[in-house]
Structure 1
Amino acid sequence: MGTPEPDTSERAASGLMPRGSYLLALLVLAGSLILVLLAWYYARERELRAAQARFEAHTAEIADRLDQRLAYYELVARGGTALFASMARPTPQQWADYVGSMSLHPRFPAVKGLGFVGYVSSNRLDDLQIEWRESGYGQLNVRPHGMRARYAPILYLEPRTVENVAVVGLDLFETPAGKEALQSALETGTARLSSPASGDDGALMLFIPVYRAGDRPRTAAARELSMQGWVYLPFDIGRHVDASLGSEYGELGLRIFDVGQGDRLVFARKAADPDALFHHQATLDVYGRRWRLEFDSPPEAVAAPRLKGLENMLALGLFASLLMYGIAWSLARTEDRANVIARRMTEDYRRSEQRFRSSMTYSAIGKALLDSEGRIVEANPALGRIVGSTVESLVGRTFESLFEEGDFSQHDDGVTDADGVHRVTRHLRREGDLPRQAQLTFAPVHGKVGQDITGLVQVEDVTERVRAQARVQALNRTLEARVAMRTRELSQANQELEAFAYSVSHDLRAPLRSIDGFSRVLIERYEHQLDEGGRDYLRRVRKAAMRMGELIDAILQISRLGRAALQRESVDLSRMALEVVDELRAGDPGRELAVRVMPGLAAVGDAALLRNLLGNLLGNAWKFTRGREQAMIEFGAVDLPGDETEFYVRDNGAGFAQVYVDKLFRPFQRLHQQEEFSGHGIGLASVRRIVERHGGRIRAEGREGEGAVFYFTLPEAGEPAAMQSPAPPA
């Protein structure tokens, strides 16, 4: 049980908590409340002004986008005037082709089309209608009917939708909105925008005057004499606003008024919102018209969302004021707790010091504390035993003096980790004893305030360990020398075997040529003196000699595969396989079989050896499918785990029993009779040697009467040097 704490009155009487502290706490509470309220008021006003500035900047950006979009419409219409500059007047088909090439609807969803309004005097109207009818464009019905001094009928309007076809022939001089804009464009020679027509669902029209090719009239009279008509671009104002702003509306209110028409409403997204936080107006001068844009901001929660945060800040400030008031009451208790914590930290420090002293005294590893000059400040008994000295004599000595002279400065090849711990091995100097190896570990540590201690070093005698490692390394070098000697002996034996095979193959050719030559002479000269049996014997002799010659060639081929150096290059295996198949077809033109070669197969290796490999595998498949009515050969590849590719050659020929698969790749081993399938049994042995020389492996799967599959890998499979188009089935 702890001693009971004195109550508040006792502390106040003893001076620990003065009576003025109550008044000070109340003053802190009142002052903090006043400051919080003032800060909240001014922050709210500042945030309202900033929100209004953002709202007005946003409205200016919207107005600018609407104006820029109209400028795009003018550029589209200007393109139509350029067409009139290159010819007197384009035909309807030429106009349709031009408008179709512009892809109006995908680019400008608000645009209803692009057309041409002709400027026709009363004495030219009949000629225009006759010209229209004789050109095959049908009847030009100018409406409304009646005699007028001049007409402005819509002649072209593309694309040819139902709505656009319905307005062709309409005299825009007879529409209030069109007449005003047409007349203004005629008089000024510039682009003009119509006012909104009543009952037209927000449709506006942009007119650009077109003069005779080459004319640039400067006066109104000259413009009327040279006038051909107007390029005409109708568009929907609602879609225009949506396309211009996209998702920029948000919860914004927008209304557009035509000031020249007595504040006539052109477009309204929604009516004026009484709950809007801000209202703003802007004006736009657009092609002879003046628009007034009225904007309504969203309600306060959306237009100035930070105000909600200011309310939270006010609540937090009030809470902080109360908290500060409570802090004044808790200071005394905090002081008591601080004293308790200080006593506990002192006890923890004392125990930590005892643990450190115990680890220094009883550790089997030598330890020493060093100052900034590298002198030993404190050492443990283990260090004295390692260096052969007493602990008292070590204090004050430089740590470097315990090791051979110059060992630190000249051979500092240790390792330092990310924490600054440095490990190194040095030669320990002991008087009257052989040199010993010591493993040193330097770690940065700090002593007490005002105490010159910069590091801790641990010293471990590793002499026996180093000597054991040296003995292991010497044994490894001896083993490496023996392996190298055995490798040379094996290489020499292989070379002698290859030379022997080549020599034997070469020496056997002379007697074989004699046997073949003399047997041929016997047949040619003494054929009539021999009976049928004798002639059959000679033919068998010649056939056996020929067979022997093929075996000799096979032996030479095997020996060459081991001697030649690999010439590695990128090889297109798909194209090489097709070339081999073409050669097989040329040598056996009567065969009918399907060959499928997967396109894009490639590897890095010796092109000549890989050609030999594919020639043997595809040649075997060609040979063993001879008895099939619907023979099939396939060359392809599959992906294995680990980014490895395995190639395969598959056929549906005679196949083989899987129990004899080990005999396939042995030289001169055959699984079929010579009379059934000819061969000398060396092809698959050559294939295996080629694959292994490239560092790959080969395997085979088969069933008697169902075909066989040969799989092989080439470690450096990749893209061919020059990729061709995909190889079609052969």
Structure 2
Amino acid sequence: MVSWVAILAGVLTLVGWIWDLDTIRRILPGTISMNPVTALAFVLGGGSLWLHGTEAAPQPRFWPKALALVILLIGFWRLMGYVFEWEVGIDQWLFADKLATDLAGQPNRMSPNAALNFVFLGCGLLLMNRTSRRGLRLTEVFALLIGFISMLALLGYLYQASWLYGVVSFVPMALPTAVVFHLLAIGLLMARRDRGWVRLILSESPGGALVRLMLPILLPALVLLGWLRLAGERHGLFEAEMGTTLYTVMAILIVWGLIWWSARSLHRADKARRRMEDELERFFSLSVDLLCISGKDGRFKRINQAFSDILGHPVEELMQNGFMEYVHPEDKERTLKEVEKIHSGEPSLHFENRYLSKDGSYRWLWWKSHYLAETGLIYATARDVTEQKRVQVEIRQLNETLLERATQLDATNQELEAFSYSVSHDLRAPLRGISGFAQALEEHSKAVLDETAQSYLLRVRRAADRMGYLIDDLLKLSRLTRAEMHLEQVNLSLQAESILAQLKQREPERLVEWVVQPEIVVTADSALMHVLLENLLENAWKFTSKNPKARIEVGQSPGPAGEKICHVRDNGVGFDMRYATKLFGAFQRLHSMVEFPGTGIGLATVQRVVRRHGGRVWADSELNVGSTFFFVV
């Protein structure tokens, strides 16, 4: 903004010289006009300041420095002319014929104080981005010099004291020139707000707030007091001594009032700060987590009581020693690397190491740390996770034990299944021999055997046949465990319809009503699900044989957590729920062989299929009412 005001002021002045617009050139009648070369230098200065302000954009750095150098040379050459009484003619480049007698016969020249300000302005623009080792910005020094000289000129015009804006008998500084110089001084100061004195003034610190409060009030008040004093003396209201006294008294009152107001504001701010520090200290002390601040020297600068409570060491001892002295030897190298990473500016969000306790044991601490470059300190919090570590170790050991036992159990099951399969397979041959020889004996000796002997032979053959059926069912059950599963979308409705149709073909004389819900689809192994339904439906068919109005239902209903619960329901003889725990065991029967023949393997097979799918199966029944078998796969 300031740069554009300087450019506009320079351009308007040049326009005033071109068109002889006296009001634009001098503002106040009877005062000196701004020199055209001065106006040109203001345009260059505004342009350089604007380019400096846009350095974040892709602007070449050459141009702002080049313009600053031109301004510096103009001011320096004109100043040397005054010092060595040379007629340099640099301020006569433009409109020489109009500059001959600008005011009271005196030729218009660039004033010495204006030339000096241009030297300062050029230097300030050239050194815009330079900072000394102690953080001093020379640009701010030059800006203050420019502001001081231009302020003297402005006060001179305000107080009608020509010696403030003129140097001896040389051409004085024009009023527009003083105004633009003052604005450019402010622009130089504000061009880099993130550094130097301006950063302090604009900060939220008490010092910045004090400057922003006092300067806008104190400076205008003192200037106004000076003007009122001179006006009173010139109009004969009081003598010089009285004017000086009044000025001094009023200045003291204004300064004292501002100091008192500032002191009260600072006092309130300090009280608020102390209250906040007390609250933070209370929080710092009461926190169950470990809070600390450490420096680059590896020592704690501040820690809370939780350190002493958890580790057992006194706070003073922890503060005296470096924190690496308490780190477990196996964790020191990792800890040093983590500290280096934090100092590089990367926060540590999850780091664990062991710290030595007073009793000689080590505690696991979980750290979160952050480095603040402004203070050069690391701010960290830690939490004691020793108990969690112990639990994790126990859980890991337990998992390893369970895995080992599961492996052993799996091997044992495989051995048992192999043994069962082998035994069942090897028993089939002797059973066939028993059944065959019993039949041969019956045929060979039927004429000589009485009815009792023939009855014994028949019972032997039936027992052998039943044993064969049991062995066949055991082999089927064993194959279910060893068979590889292939999961797919299985339509249970179609499978149930097919199985019920086969059962009807076996006993066409029976009247059985069945209802199968359409599109019962599950994700499972198709062959295993066929075995499951076959056993459930054969049971339902068998146990409804004594009901002249037999009915079998196959359906599906929604369950908790999005489950799909399938069921097979019949209105057969049912069973006593007190014995439901024995229902799915191998060879477990709840009805006699005379009433309902079978091997007692069917429901055990159903349970094995459901478990292989990771599901569950259960039943609900009532005697002489019926049974319902539910399963989820």
Give the TM-score taking structure 2 as reference length.
Answer: 0.48
Greater per-residue helix proportion: 2
- Which structure's relative contact order is higher, taking Cα pairs within 8 Å and 6+ residues apart? 1
- The structure in which a higher percent of residues are strand is 1
Given the two structures, how large is their TM-score scaled by the length of structure 1? 0.43
